[in-house]
Amino acid sequence: MPFLIIFGACLIVFGAVYVISTIVTRRSYQGTANWPKAAGEVVRAFVYRHERRTPKETSITYTPVVEYTYTVEGQPYTSQKRDFAPYYCDSFAEEKKAAEIIAELPPGKAVTVRYNPDVPAQAALKVEKPKMHNTVLLFGVTSLVMGVLMIVLAVVLM
């Protein structure tokens, strides 16, 4: 029975760590999804061809670049951030995929811009909420419940 109590306590600690870290992480990421909106306009859009050469090979990637303007409290801003994905997630091996993104954002198109209320120059067109937080949170809560049940079972069986 002591094994069940120890194992249950470990599950409780493990679950608590998951729940707390998920809540803290969720707060920091959800801030961007709750940023205020501003009306913007696409100034230009193009596909950037990036060629990397090494002695052994040459690799080519294509990155869609969208430049847009927006105004916050009478102050004009310009940005090229479509989202907050890392560079390697925003580049493609095929030019066609980058061109499809650019085709949806032609110059002159009105766009909705999410901007940081503390630093309005920091903005993006697409700001998503994290996808895996609910799954990780559920895993942590399940671990907590299982730990409590194990301890209750051990106490009842004693």
pTM beyond 0.75: the answer is no
Mean pLDDT to the nearest integer, 68-74: 96
Digit-coded pLDDT (tens) for 10-49: 888 888 888 887 777 666 555 677 789 999 999 999 999 9
Query: How would residue 155 be classed by pLDDT, with cut points 50, 70 and 90?
Result: confident
Q: What is the pLDDT of residue 127?
A: 73
Closest CA to 91 of 147, 142, 43, 52: 52
Q: What is the pLDDT of residue 112?
A: 94
Digit-coded pLDDT (tens) for 2-16: 887 888 888 888 888
Phi-psi region of 108 (alpha: psi -120 to 50; beta: other; left: phi over 0): left
CB 84 within 8 A of CB 93: no
Digit-coded pLDDT (tens) for 90-130: 789 899 999 999 999 999 999 999 998 889 999 998 876 65
Question: CA 49, CA 98: separation in Å to the nearest integer?
Answer: 10
